[in-house]
Amino acid sequence: MKFIKKVENSCNRNNSLLQVSLDPDPKRFPKELAGNKRSILEFCKGIIESTAEYISSVKMQIAYFSACRAEDELEEICSYIRYNYPYLPIILDSKRGDIGDTSEKYAIEAFDRYKADALTVNPFMGLDSIEPYLEWEDRGVLVLCRTSNLGGSDFQSLKMANDTPLYLHIAQLVSKKWNTNSQFGIVAGATFPKELAIIRKAIGEDMPILIPGIGTQGGNIHSTVISGTNNDCSGAMISSSRSILYASNNDNWREASSIVAKKFRDDINFSRKEKMHLSKLESTNKSN
């Protein structure tokens, strides 16, 4: 099954656009995991078990695992998801961007070692740095476009010669020229809803957007849904990390994470319904 279809099926199955992002930081783990040599594995499994019914995908931030020398645990977690929750797409958040020969190795890492369904990439070095990932035709490639951090404006908002901001140029290039096999998606942050809406309009209805930044980073759920979803109020992976992962560091951490994930899922769905209602009203007014 191709990545985009797997995302669509998972969203429909759980009636959710919420993505949980696993950024495991042992310093913030619940007390019961202190001293556990397998704490990263146990924590991530606990989060997935607690949130699986409310999410539509899982994102792994590779740096959090590599910094703890926990790549083997990352492999185990990916295997655990594939076996127990095979409908959930796995996204490796690695933001790779290098020459073709090196990208071939990164592709093997992401798609063979971890068997991820998609990964994030940096487009700075152009299409030939991304082409090795496309050889895995059932996998997805999510291109950084308008990131959620403030410093992203240093480059992403710069104007091209035709007065188009760089982030929009990237979105147009990916959607109009690169996406010949429907493998691409875009990464655009919830913290910039105006730009998110411009990107959605530019890329059309079918391409998914990974949207980080709700919760701790301050992105607003309602504006994210209004700006980032397509006309069917889908086509988005709205990602949350710390708000879900560290909802509690006491014995109730699993329950607390589940409660936060359910609330995010429900708040997103409320905004989806509102957007759909407004769209129907607008269509009725136009027809009258």
Measured distance CA(253)–CA(231) in Å, rounded: 36
- Residue 55 tokens read as 């999410």
Q: Which domain holds residue 98?
A: 3-287
Q: Is 45 a catalytic residue?
A: no
pLDDT of residue 288: 61
The number of distinct structural domains making up the chain is 1
| Candidates 2, 27, 37, 95; catalytic one | 95
- Amino acid (1-letter code) at residue 272: R
Q: What is the pTM of this model?
A: 0.94
pLDDT of residue 283: 67
List, for the chain, all residue ranges whose pLDDT scores fall below the cut of 50. none
Tens-digit pLDDT profile for residues 52-97: 999 999 999 999 999 999 999 999 999 999 999 999 999 999 999 9
Residue 251 sits in a domain of what CATH number? 3.20.20.70
pLDDT of residue 35: 82
- Amino acid (1-letter code) at residue 28: R
